[in-house]
Structure 1
Amino acid sequence: MAKLKLAEKNEKIAEKVVGGYKKIEKTVVGGYKKMEEGAVNSFTKMTDSFVEEFLTKDGETVEEAKKRMRKEA
């Protein structure tokens, strides 16, 4: 009987520990994803600006310039 109660308490403790870990994991992974998304978006804006300023030809969009450069490479 005492072993059964002890096992039940251990199970409850284990569930709380796992739940706490999962909350921490979700927070950390979410923060990383936001940072990654921000970095990628900033880099994309920077490269688009560069392509627009220096690599587009008359009337050409940034996407068209990128496609043209891929073909030339």
Structure 2
Amino acid sequence: MARSKLVKANEKIAEKVVGVYKKIEDTVVGGYKKIEEGAVSGFTKISDSFVDEFLTKDGETVEEAKARLAEEQREREAARTEKN
């Protein structure tokens, strides 16, 4: 009987430890995700602003300018590959 009480007590302790660990893990991961989202969002805003200010042509949207720039980059890389 003493052994079963000890086993039950150990199980309760284990459940509490795991529960607390999961709460801590969720808090840390949630905080990291918020920081990551903020950093990515800030970078995207700055990038869009730069493209809008300096790299768009008349009447071109930021998305169109980014697509055009990506295509130009692929063409440059293809030309460089052909040279080698």
Give me the TM-score of the superposition, normalised by structure 2. 0.86
Which residue identity lines up with residue 55 of structure 1 in the other structure? L
2:51 matches 1:46: no
2:48 matches 1:26: no
2:65 matches 1:65: yes
Q: What corresponds to 1:5 in structure 2? A: 5
Instruction: Tell me how large the CA RMSD over aligned residues is.
Output: 0.3
Higher relative contact order (CA 8 A, sep 6+): 1
Q: What corresponds to 1:17 in structure 2? A: 17
C-alpha deviation, 1:26, in angstroms:
0.3
Structure 1 unmatched ranges of 5 or more:
none
Which whole-Å CA distance do the structure 1 matches of 2:7 and 2:51 have between them? 65
C-alpha deviation, 1:4, in angstroms:
0.5
- What fraction of aligned residue pairs are identical, expressed as a percent? 75
Q: What corresponds to 2:79 in structure 1? A: none
**Structure 1 runs, 4 residues or longer, greater than 3 Å off:** none
Give me the TM-score of the superposition, normalised by structure 1. 0.99
Q: How many residues in Structure 1 have an aligned counterpart in Structure 2?
A: 73
C-alpha deviation, 1:2, in angstroms:
0.3
C-alpha deviation, 1:65, in angstroms:
0.2
